[in-house]
Structure 1
């Protein structure tokens, strides 16, 4: 199976990058599934039903979330009825929505997607390691699902790396989101799980993590309240991680960073 995970979509530049590049990438890379983190898709804060539909029409199969999942209040009203939109699975019991979803990857294959949120420097949700253990007790890579993708949304690289080793051999890809900067540690761990600490954002990199530079600069240099943060409006870079798995075991055979468009140096898998 070949699938692509896209990092946090930040506002219109991130969405435009998806619409511009994803249709060609699906064809060129022979992608069976595409998953994107969409918690910043609506002007940098949350996601709406209209934006979900826009991304699905552009070739995204499933959207994950994070600490901004509820910034657009309408998400609370429609997430229960939209299985293609996830929020972190370790939210307290009774929270609207779900943290685990399935993508039909064709030819009878299934990609199981798990959305989890870290706790260091983040909201104190339920223990993501214990929650992950509970999920994996009921699914098995290569049997219950042909491939398993974990989006671990968090701030600290140490916590993300620890999760990668915790699930090594049990999921196809463990990838971090939230920091909006692509890390240079794409690899396959000893047990066969593809890993990258952060996929980076799909957005304008002539910015401060996707936001227009002026307000953040004023906050850092003057320590005074400033105007509301606004999404930077330049051309977005599409950032993500490409993985190819063994259909029998679900383990990763290949893992490559992907960057296309905008300001960052382009990288794209060279497949044979």
Structure 2
């Protein structure tokens, strides 16, 4: 099985980048299943039903979320009706939606699990134990399991990778929007990267306009962050899994810019 995972899609710039590049990514990597993190897709905060449907129309099979899951309040009205979206499983048990889904596409089945870290983010239930429990549940249906660990600090993400080595097929970090250079297959067969990166303006700060971010750093005063409209960059990973065992065979970082992506071969 071949899986394409696209990092945090930020605002209209990120969405346009995915729309432009996805056909080429499909042609080059021939993925059976495409998953994307969509928690920043609507103006940098949350996702709308219309945007989610656009992603599905473009060929994305499943969407993971994160700490901005609830920023577009109307998500409460429809998330329970959309089986292809997962929000962090360790949110309070009263939260709508779910933290795991089985995605079926092109004759393959992939379980997707969304978990949120606890360091420098709102405190939620233990992500490590819950991730392991959900993986055991998923294995009753498929050996192929993707965990999107939406967390702030590298140490927590790396710890999760080691904890789930040999249990999950792939553990990919999201949230910090900067692609790390540590893509690897861990000893027990789990593909891992600390952070996949983002899709959005490379001329801002993590996809947001520079001036507001600089104002906050320079003065310590609040500032309204707005999605930057500059040229985009796109980050993703392509992972190949053994269909029978769920072990990873290959992981490849993808890093494209608006100026260079037409050169991909």
Q: Shorter-chain-normalised TM-score: which range?
A: over 0.9
Indicate if the aligned counterparts of 2:3 and 2:240 stay in contact, CA closer than 8 A.
yes
Greater strand share, structure number: 2
Q: CA deviation at 1:266?
A: 10
1:199 corresponding residue in structure 2? 196
Indicate if the aligned counterparts of 2:199 and 2:235 stay in contact, CA closer than 8 A.
yes
2:178 corresponding residue in structure 1? 181
* 1:240 to 2:236 alignment: yes
Among candidates 165, 168, 185, match of residue 165 of structure 2: 168
SS of alignment partner, residue 202 of structure 1: strand
1:1-272 matches, within 5 Å, as 1-107=1-107, 109-140=108-139, 144-226=141-223, 228-262=224-258
TM-score of the pair, normalised by structure 2: 0.95
Q: CA deviation at 1:127?
A: 0.4
TM-score of the pair, normalised by structure 1: 0.93
| C-alpha distance after superposition, 1:26-64 (max 9, x if no partner) | 122111011000000000010000100111111211111
SS of alignment partner, residue 109 of structure 2: strand
Structure 2 portions without partners, runs of 5+: none
TM-align CA RMSD: 1.8
- How many residues end up aligned between the 2 structures? 265
| C-alpha distance after superposition, 1:184-220 (max 9, x if no partner) | 0000000000000000011111111100100000111
SS of alignment partner, residue 12 of structure 2: helix
Structure 1 portions without partners, runs of 5+: none
Indicate if the aligned counterparts of 1:205 and 1:262 stay in contact, CA closer than 8 A.
no
